[in-house]
Amino acid sequence: MKRQYTDEHASAGVRAPLPEIETWPNQYPGYEIEIVLPEFTSVCPKTGLPDHGELTLRYVPDKLCLELKSLKMYMLAYRNLGIFQENVVNRFLRDIVKACQPMEATLIGEFTPRGGVYTKITASWNKKRHGRKG
């Protein structure tokens, strides 16, 4: 059986330039922030069809917190980006960690069913487990 998706499809969007996520100094230790982005959209790199979903980010800040307007602009940059859903969640989390170096972070992507298939993807990062780099 011939594979319909290429390695180019699989890596689409993974290294695309996206807006910087800004931060501000955290004032308090030991609490969790939850941010829900209910209107996420991107594009399937093979079919060009839109993917819709809700992203939920939970993170424990260390020295920096995410600035929400820049996070919104970052999210909106995915709108016309061809990228698989699994890569969306992992790339988004990677960029969050790079921006604010949280103590821990989890990103959940719940994507609208297409063709009867519902996808929920969870990626997590922990400073103790993964080290101090992002």
Over residues 31-81, the pLDDT tens digits come to 999 999 999 999 999 889 999 999 999 999 999 999 999 999 999 999 999
pLDDT band at 132 (very low <50, low <70, confident <90, very high): low
Determine the Cα–Cα distance for residues 90 and 34; give it in Å rounded to an integer.
17
Q: Pick the catalytic residue: 7, 44, 62, 100?
A: 44
Question: 59 exposed, middle or buried (CB, 10 Å; 0-12, 13-18, 19+)?
Answer: buried
Active-site residue, 44 included: yes
Quick one: pLDDT at residue 78?
Answer: 97
Q: Pick the catalytic residue: 7, 51, 62, 100?
A: 51
Q: What is the pTM of this model?
A: 0.91
Quick one: pLDDT at residue 134?
Answer: 45
As a whole number, the mean pLDDT across the chain is 93
pLDDT band at 28 (very low <50, low <70, confident <90, very high): very high
Distance of CA 95 to the CA centre of its chain: 7
At 106, is the secondary structure helix, strand, or coil?
Answer: strand
For 2, phi then psi, to 5°, come to: -80, 135
Half-sphere exposure of 2 (CA within 13 A, CB side): 1
* Of 31, 39, 22, 43, residue with least CA distance to 88: 43
pLDDT of residue 8 exceeding 90, the answer is: no
Radius of gyration of the chain (CA): 15
